Chain A
């Protein structure tokens, strides 16, 4: 089976869907001729023509707003926001329009669109190239929010997102575009070519939205993670020797509650990880769900390991990023209760 980086897997998903469905159009800043600042759309304009894959003016509200209009017409636009940190000018179009169009028109108009945006830190991106704004989407009724952690999922989830009739926010952790990253920034990068989840079948396959994946089975504690933090969790479990069950949520809305509950009922303990800031982050929702559904099975308080409640700093990158040491301490702490 071919091995792809996450960039190549995303590009392949777009290629597969553009070939299958003439309604799929891809656009955003630097997406056309140049092929994207992260190379995710390389070659698509050459293959499908400029009316299917094109460059857009630097206007996030314009990009998302025209995508809503295209979706209402009947196309299936895949819009790219160059960095999740820059989605805010388009946030009104996402929240007030894309998310509510089906509801407010009683299904007369829909927004079958995908907004792709590279997210997450660990790359010395500073304040505006590192953010993880997923909670700003999961809080919005009508949106689906997806975040893959590896090439296999990235392709399958993106195909599912494009085929989905609801608006999907597709967050791509750019730190794992070219290889898994476990938070050990002082160690050399392992490319996806040497990771089993770099294997991505050619052609069409879809991973249903709303299904988590158990990355590591364990009996001692359930770890809920997504994106880059899945790899950090795996490193922390290995280094501490804690028999953690690591769940990669993959899709935050809809959420795979069954898999979460089944695991926590088994382990009795839960640690929640995300790069995003803590207060009102998605971890708070996960914690509440686990508390409500697994209260009598819990043997310890639920712990959260997250980014600090500060803007994402530059020089202090590794004090900010929740790395394997911090995660490992939480794994031990939750067992001591």
Chain B
């Protein structure tokens, strides 16, 4: 009988842990402009290579290069820069508010602003995002009122969700922003259903599904891809690969063996892998996928390669599982800095104007926070009514809930 070697379990580990030097060698990054731009009606099997590369537009000098350069004018670029700065300032203010005890919880999107803010530019009124908890930029890029978002974070009397939801789990139908759930990936398959409904109804609206790379491991990710593959509905399947799912690096989600964009190959869904810190690449790839959807060509999966620069949430301390310097070493840089440099390269911007814009935005965010706090914070000031707790479970309040409301005496 042949000698057998003892089997051993492979448990992926990140290249470095706290105290080590950041190492991103696992990430192969092509030059900006190097990846081809196929026509939107390309069959999935002809662009398999795109799932293993990274579409990039902005080079080191801040110039827009290559076939994916969307050719945005300076005003559009400034709007993108403004949206990203506002998202970052909003996050900073709300992180501080949590530290000050004004709310129980917050989740920043620091470093990922280009993905949400850039993506929103490809959507039209009536389209529907099915976001996770880290796409606040989708709202901010549309100039959705910051006060409204803050009131939700503070669970105060102006909170449109009546204090029922954890902070950051917004809902804004008017802004095409589906109610965020705490249960990961459930919305990914719902987006496919929404898009199927649009197709069944002969509508022209499209849907966008969102998931982080960690949550692609959920069964709903697979279900969404199967249904998107079968019925070819108008949906964009976004995977935000920020390298980290709380403390677990992307290898634990299966990222060591293949890219997340490559998942789509097995389902016959065209997929792109894109520099998520390159606003112009985000805009270009989103527009490509949106056009495919609007032309009834079906779903597209996009893996956005980015880095979660902040903590997972206010309840998390990343220094316990990754080097502190890692976010500074991230090879795709900072999305805001890169777009700022592009505007400067265009001759339409300067450090002075940038500093001025940041100050304006910080004032705007501070004013919004003061207004929102005036309507109450979690532990201070007016709150949603206790009676509202019993409403909206069903369209009409059934007998047993009326009795329970009376039992509470409200």
Which among A70-78, A211-219, A224-232, A262-270 touches the partner chain? Answer: A70-78
Question: Within 8 Å of chain B (Cβ to Cβ): is A25?
Answer: yes
Residues of B within 8 A of A104 (CB): 161, 164-165, 169, 171, 179, 181
Question: Within 8 Å of chain B (Cβ to Cβ): is A68?
Answer: yes
Closest CB-CB distance, B251 to chain A, in whole Å? 25
Residues of A within 8 A of B195 (CB): 69
Closest CB-CB distance, A284 to chain B, in whole Å? 15
- What is the bound-complex CA distance between A62 and B222, given in angstroms? 9
Question: Within 8 Å of chain A (Cβ to Cβ): is B149?
Answer: no
Minimum CB distance partner of A93 in chain B? B186
CB < 8 Å neighbour of A69 from B160, B173, B192: B192
| A70, B394: Cβ atoms closer than 8 Å | no
30 A-B pairs (CB sep. < 8 Å)? A51-B199, A59-B226, A59-B227, A61-B219, A61-B223, A62-B223, A65-B186, A66-B193, A66-B227, A69-B191, A69-B197, A69-B207, A72-B193, A72-B194, A74-B201, A89-B219, A96-B186, A100-B181, A101-B179, A102-B392, A102-B394, A104-B165, A104-B179, A105-B161, A106-B160, A106-B162, A107-B392, A108-B171, A141-B393, A210-B398
Question: Within 8 Å of chain B (Cβ to Cβ): is A318?
Answer: no
Closest CB-CB distance, B390 to chain A, in whole Å? 10
Residues of B within 8 A of A97 (CB): 181, 183, 186, 190
CB < 8 Å neighbour of A109 from B169, B171, B201, B399: B171
Closest CB-CB distance, A69 to chain B, in whole Å? 3
| B223, A65: Cβ atoms closer than 8 Å | yes
Residues of A within 8 A of B104 (CB): none
| B399, A106: Cβ atoms closer than 8 Å | no
* A residues 8-27 in Cβ contact with B at 8 Å: 25
CB < 8 Å neighbour of B200 from A75, A105, A106, A144: A75
Q: Given A73-B198, A75-B201, does the pair A257, B220 have CB atoms closer than 8 Å?
A: no
CB < 8 Å neighbour of A102 from B128, B169, B198, B393: B393
- What is the bound-complex CA distance between A220 and B181, given in angstroms? 50
- What is the bound-complex CA distance between A332 and B200, given in angstroms? 57
Question: Within 8 Å of chain B (Cβ to Cβ): is A180?
Answer: no
- What is the bound-complex CA distance between A121 and B312, given in angstroms? 47
CB < 8 Å neighbour of B393 from A73, A105, A142: A142
* B residues 162-208 in Cβ contact with A at 8 Å: 162, 164-165, 169, 171-173, 178-179, 181-183, 186, 189-201, 207
Q: Given A103-B164, A105-B161, A109-B179, does the pair A74, B173 have CB atoms closer than 8 Å?
A: no
Question: Within 8 Å of chain B (Cβ to Cβ): is A134?
Answer: no
Question: Within 8 Å of chain A (Cβ to Cβ): is B366?
Answer: no
- What is the bound-complex CA distance between A77 and B200, given in angstroms? 11
- Total interface residues on A, using CB and 8 Å? 45
Residues of A within 8 A of B125 (CB): none
Minimum CB distance partner of A27 in chain B? B196
| B393, A69: Cβ atoms closer than 8 Å | no
Among B160, B189, B193, max chain A CB count under 10 A is at B193
Question: Within 8 Å of chain A (Cβ to Cβ): is B230?
Answer: yes
- What is the bound-complex CA distance between A75 and B222, given in angstroms? 24
| A62, B189: Cβ atoms closer than 8 Å | yes
Residues of A within 8 A of B201 (CB): 73-75
Closest CB-CB distance, B339 to chain A, in whole Å? 32
Question: Within 8 Å of chain B (Cβ to Cβ): is A255?
Answer: yes
Question: Within 8 Å of chain A (Cβ to Cβ): is B395?
Answer: yes
Question: Within 8 Å of chain A (Cβ to Cβ): is B400?
Answer: yes
Residues of A within 8 A of B130 (CB): 69
Residues of B within 8 A of A172 (CB): none
**Interface readout for A42-54 with B: 1 if CB under 8 Å, 0 if not?**
0000000001100
Question: Within 8 Å of chain B (Cβ to Cβ): is A85?
Answer: no
Question: Within 8 Å of chain B (Cβ to Cβ): is A254?
Answer: yes
Residues of B within 8 A of A141 (CB): 393
Residues of A within 8 A of B193 (CB): 65-70, 72-73, 77
Minimum CB distance partner of B219 in chain A? A61
- What is the bound-complex CA distance between A92 and B173, given in angstroms? 23
| B392, A103: Cβ atoms closer than 8 Å | yes
